[in-house]
Amino acid sequence: MSRGSIRYVERNYSYTQGVVYSPAANPVIYGRFPKHTVKKSPTEKLNKILSSILLCLVLVSLVSYYFVSDSEKKMNGLGREIVALSNENIELQNKLDNLHSFNKVDSVIHGKTMLDTAKKVIEIPAATISYVPDIKENTVNYNWSIGY
């Protein structure tokens, strides 16, 4: 075949998943040709694998961040409760120390016989006094100090 006998046909190529074909009505060359499939390059496969791994890691990190923030919120609540209980404990300890000191004083007074309590109460009739002493009113004249 010489160059003059080859017809040039306008071809519209349609690229689909693996097959490239020409819809020519009158093909120039007849024969059985194997269809070529477009294989993915190894870098495309590697990129797909790495992006899926990255997506999994991002999801795992989001879930773990949720649990960490939730536990931190619980820890802050427990910290506030501990501070409140500690302050209440300090107040109660101060009250207990105050009562304990009063109890010590009371036990020292009553326990060491510094103050004897009556073992028996004796009732006596009221005293009748017929004589009431005269109480002089002290009238001191301070006129001498008034003025000069």
Q: Tell me phi and psi for residue 39, to 5 degrees.
A: -85, 145
Query: Predicted confidence band at 1 (pLDDT cuts at 50, 70, 90)?
Result: very low
Q: How far is CA 138 from CA 141, 143, 144, in A?
A: 9, 15, 17
- Over residues 107-118, the mean pLDDT reads 62
Q: What is the pLDDT of residues 15-43, one digit of tens each?
A: 555 555 555 566 667 777 777 777 788 89
Q: What percent of the chain has pLDDT over 90?
A: 33
pTM for the structure as a whole = 0.38
Structure confidence at residue 67 (pLDDT):
96
- Over residues 125-142, the mean pLDDT reads 69
